[in-house]
Structure 1
């Protein structure tokens, strides 16, 4: 760990990325227009309009519903299996405001943060599951955000979950490692053997900064160097570092293996950076990316691209089958994307009460329930899919 601490000392003078992000948000006319519409109409109204735009595109294409497509391919009905992944979105506060962000996180999202009570209830459910005969079904705690590390309960959650023997994933944006007050974060993650799944949509500075904000690529490289210095991504260290690629526009992610080789060659050759795996995910046609598609007049073409590249094999391995997604306030969802569209798991099925972590006595209470789907789900079944989520 001494190497990581020494490397951290080199960047302790770094200032926060948050002021630059806020400046860029203020200068972004399209984002300001979206925020104004959000304030005027409310999130639910904008989400409904977003869904209607996707549906109008599918209707214009003469495309069947997602349910009908799955049924024709022999992969319906879609039901939950025993949950293997417990995914907690611990909050939407972030030091970045990426153009493709499907959770619309930013430095302005200060209110949506998981409380200690929410975290403790999640831990109770995990402990109960691990104590079940056979060790329960959950094998992975997947912590996401926002920048999850900026939630005051993040380290408490990791410390309490580590003795349970679960794989713990931190969905890291890399730049958070250089935020003031986070100088020991890499050492903390390594000490608890947390798997880091880090966003890096390209190995090109221009492409990354265009998607993620000014200076993000440079800081991301510094963050990767800190992780490497602690042993992350280094063969035999036991510390896993995976990178995540998503397209910079309205096209599908390419084949993962070929792109991984290019990433390793470019990052290794230019910066001496090593990592374990690359995860290539499609952009989902929701939230900020849906806004992008609408502004470009590309929603119909993108939905057509998703429908025409439907992959039954990807549908067989959808993350919603074995993931329990928990919002910062404890509401339960089949997946992270449904969470952002507020399509909660409901008591008694459609139009019932939204279920929360306080409404269930065990994670297994949700096994075999029908999965809620809609037209955005084509994004998870196009090409290689978008729902591997690093598993």
Structure 2
């Protein structure tokens, strides 16, 4: 029996079912210009997984047929995928709201000089990772010089109108703890970020999402190396709040990988946990065309406690 299957069978996390599908979250590949130690994707410059045009077209067909109103593009660095511009243009042409999960430094990469203008022209919501507002903490988690590159990316976006008062261009930042702790209260953290970034750097943004670090892949490896894995899992379980179950992202989101296979969330995708609504080990998006998933079961395991601990955690930050 694999460790993953054993984890699914032994978990005490409660059974949950899908609500109405609202968001298609598409991981276009694991290529990234950064190698962050907390990354649940194990993304980096040496990864080769990239979505092709045929799979991108299938994603668009599914969006069109299912009437989904939000396309959430993630990676890796999704902007480095050859299909990124195509997906954005086609989805926006259908009136679908598009979100780009951006690491900010990609805006400073060679060949990305027009990226900020492209995002603005298509009114893409930018969800940008910035795990702290001080350079030492950011560089410790993401690499030397990343904080300054992130500021440069934010300045590009602000110059395009992102995050500015009265602008329709939405810029949200993402915080995650530096270590094995739960995020602090999101509202207070957002206020602290806004005050510090405006005062020190003249940077503005709309909102902040506080996200819990998932105990999988690189972060789990760090926890085990430091002997903190069991303590962190205990922290997540002890902080479980049943009221967060109603708002966990997997109830209204479907995760698609770079090959078109589907999962209940991006974390399950990385663990290769089969879709709860599926009848086989791997379910492809083409198998779900014209199929209603509402009420279907969701595959759960112990890492799911990360989404229900404390104020809860989702791709949109705290849930309560």
Among candidates 169, 180, 201, match of residue 271 of structure 1 = 201
Q: Which residue in 1 is equivalent to 2:254?
A: 324
Q: 1:170, 1:197 within 8 Å by CA — same for their partners in 2?
A: yes
Q: Does 1:376 align with 2:288?
A: no
Aligned length: 317
Question: Structure 2: any 5+ residue segments left out of the alignment?
Answer: none
CA–CA separation in structure 2 for the residues paired with 1:105 and 1:275: 26
Moved more, 79-88 or 364-373: 364-373
1:69-106 deviation digits (Å, cap 9, x = unpaired): xxxxxxxx411112100000001000000000000000
1:319-371 deviation digits (Å, cap 9, x = unpaired): 0101010011111101111000001216754xx24210121222x43222100
Among candidates 94, 98, 107, match of residue 36 of structure 2 = 98
CA–CA separation in structure 2 for the residues paired with 1:92 and 1:140: 21
Q: Name the CA shift for 1:380/1:348 in 2 (closer, same or farther; >3 Å).
A: closer
Among candidates 221, 224, 237, match of residue 154 of structure 2 = 224
Q: Which residue in 1 is equivalent to 2:108?
A: 178
Q: Does 1:385 align with 2:312?
A: yes
CA–CA separation in structure 1 for the residues paired with 2:315 and 2:89: 26
Larger Rg: 1
Q: Which residue in 2 is equivalent to 1:337?
A: 267
Q: Structure 1 residue 118: deviation in Å?
A: 0.4
1:28-58 deviation digits (Å, cap 9, x = unpaired): xxxxxxxxxxxxxxxxx9xx55787x89xxx
CA–CA separation in structure 2 for the residues paired with 1:51 and 1:145: 25
Q: Name the CA shift for 1:173/1:51 in 2 (closer, same or farther; >3 Å).
A: farther
Q: Does 1:253 align with 2:206?
A: no
Q: Name the CA shift for 1:225/1:361 in 2 (closer, same or farther; >3 Å).
A: same
Q: Structure 1 residue 386: deviation in Å?
A: 1.8
Q: Which residue in 1 is equivalent to 2:64?
A: 127
Among candidates 361, 364, 367, match of residue 289 of structure 2 = 361
- Secondary structure of the residue aligned to 1:220 is helix
Q: 1:91, 1:148 within 8 Å by CA — same for their partners in 2?
A: yes
CA–CA separation in structure 1 for the residues paired with 2:211 and 2:59: 27
Moved over 4 A (4+): 48-52, 346-349
Q: Structure 1 residue 244: deviation in Å?
A: 0.2
Q: Does 1:284 align with 2:231?
A: no
| Matches for 1:1-391 after TM superposition, within 5 Å | 48-49=2-3, 65-67=12-14, 77-110=15-48, 112-130=49-67, 138-345=68-275, 349=279, 352-362=280-290, 364-389=291-316
Q: 1:311, 1:383 within 8 Å by CA — same for their partners in 2?
A: yes
Q: Name the CA shift for 1:280/1:239 in 2 (closer, same or farther; >3 Å).
A: same
TM-score norm. by structure 2 comes to 0.95
CA–CA separation in structure 2 for the residues paired with 1:51 and 1:245: 31
Q: 1:346, 1:354 within 8 Å by CA — same for their partners in 2?
A: no
Q: Structure 1 residue 151: deviation in Å?
A: 0.2
Q: Structure 1 residue 270: deviation in Å?
A: 0.6
Question: Structure 1: any 5+ residue segments left out of the alignment?
Answer: 1-44, 68-76, 131-137
TM-score norm. by structure 1 comes to 0.78
Cα RMSD of the aligned pairs, angstroms, is 1.8
1:167-208 deviation digits (Å, cap 9, x = unpaired): 100000000001011000000000000000000000010000
Bigger helix fraction: 1
CA–CA separation in structure 1 for the residues paired with 2:242 and 2:167: 37
